Structure 1
Amino acid sequence: MIYKCKCGSFRNVDDALDTFDKMLHMCPLPSIVEFNHMSGAIARIKHYPVVITLFKQMGLFGIAPSRPTLNTLINCFCHLNRVDFGFFVLTTILKLGYYPDSIALNTLVKGLYLQGNIAGAMKLVEDIEKKGYQLDAFTCGTILNAPCKIGKIDMAIGLLRKLEEGDFELKVVVYNTIIDSLCKDRLAIEALNLLTEMMSKGI
């Protein structure tokens, strides 16, 4: 029998845990995809420690994680302010022979920023580039969003210039982050100058 996880139908986390327990005792076991749906749904309602506990239970039942499983785990650790554990999970991804995707890398960058570790986030970005991984617009937006939020617009512009030196294409959302911050600081001329610069680059 093929099990279909009804992850959107549980009433609360206890209901979800009951469903998860039933899944663990089915024969044959549901696919890892179904377990991923369940753990992802619990993570979306911000019960991050619960997801970590369920991951451990899956291991006891011999259920091998997939890359989405590990991405969800990284996300939970980062939200719990344990980015260090997130990096341990990234090591597991590499050991299993998976290619770390933009979701895992973006989450770690964001987690470092949430800790206020801007230098660590920038170093991770540099390491990502050196290893040939492609940064996407979300990562770049995350990199610039933190200094903008704390009023360090000069730092954000400096980071933008550094990102422009890279080999990846910056999207409009990256510039929008800084333009929005400039406007909030009533620096309209600087915002218009950056808009003009974007247009000259065909963005």
Structure 2
Amino acid sequence: MDEAKSLLAEMSHKALPPDTVTYNTLMQGLCRYGRPKEALNLFKEMCSYGLLPSLVTYSILLDGFCKHGHLDDALTLLKSMQEKKLEPNIVLYTILIEGMFIAGKLVVAKELFFKLFVDGIQPTLQTYSVMIKGLLKEGLSDEAYKLFRKMEDDGFLPDSCSYNVIIQGFLQNRDSSTAVQFINEMVAKGFSADLSTFQMLLDLESHDEMISGFLRGSSLGKKMN
């Protein structure tokens, strides 16, 4: 915070008054280093100077709050934003949903996701991936599977990241059969397993017969050997 204040003071001294972009940059830096509360102080200072926060400003702060466990601050900021007639976009919703999963607030995450459809906001592939990853983290494999298929039905074709997310989730939940199903789909579509997926398969190979047999007979397994 001292460094940020020094920079702002130096800019003012040089007759270069900081604008919203300057504040956004400083707030992003503070959030990145785990100091979202200090970023919020800058936000308040910026507003006191009559500078209007943008959706980017709110995205920075909400991301910082969620990733560092300050969910009450995130929800308060969201309410303040809506009171200013600034409706959150899909980027903000995705940040909030991920934050709720990180905090173990499954019900709130689901409510936010379904609110998208009520408000007529189209989720993105990233939003679906966040939801699927969160559901698998909570052990809700059936829900994650259905949502993955719904994502496809809604016209969002899964990419390499989407496949790796759901494969890793099913491996973590010890559902080797479904994981192998998705690996085969992924490879058939020309995508590859990432390093985390490779490592999980290797870790399971010695005590999971299905994974062991799959790796022995698949082209993916040959790449690993």
- TM-score, length-scaled by structure 2: 0.68
Give 2:92's match in structure 1, choosing from 72, 92, 104. 104
| Identity among equivalent pairs (%) | 26
Deviation at 1:94, TM superposition (A): 3.9
Q: Does 1:136 align with 2:124?
A: yes
Unaligned runs of 5+ in 1: 1-12
State the shift of 1:188 in Å.
3.9
Question: By how many angstroms is 1:99 displaced?
Answer: 4.9
Alignment equivalent of 1:116, drawn from 95, 101, 104: 104
Letter in 2 for 1:74: L
Partner of 2:194: none
Whether contact under 8 Å (1:148, 1:181) holds in the other structure is yes
TM-align CA RMSD: 3.1
| 1:144/1:160 contact within 8 Å kept | yes
Distance in 1, matches of 2:34 and 2:183, equals 37
Does the aligned pair in 2 maintain the 1:48–1:79 contact within 8 Å? no
* Amino acid in the other structure paired with 1:142: V
**Cα pair distance change 1:78/1:24, threshold 3 Å:** farther
Instruction: Quote the residue 2:156 is aligned against.
Output: 169
* Aligned with residue 86 of structure 1, among 74, 78, 87: 74
Structure 2 counterparts to residues 6-155 of structure 1, below 5 A:
13-23=1-11, 27=15, 29-155=17-143
TM-score by length of structure 1 reads 0.75
Structure 1 runs of 4+ aligned residues shifted over 6 Å read 198-203
The alpha carbon displacement at 1:40 in A equals 1.0
Q: Give the Cα separation in 2 of the matches to 1:25 and 1:170.
A: 53
2:178 to 190, 199, 203: 190
Partners of 1:198 and 1:130 lie apart in 2 by 32
- Pick which of 191-200 and 46-55 moved more: 191-200
Q: Do the aligned partners of residues 194 and 116 (structure 1) sit closer, same or farther apart at CA in structure 2, a change above 3 Å counting?
A: same
Verify the 8 A CA contact 1:134 1:168 in the aligned structure 2. Answer: no
Which structure has the greater CA radius of gyration? 2
Q: Is contact 2:23–2:43 with CA below 8 Å preserved after alignment?
A: no
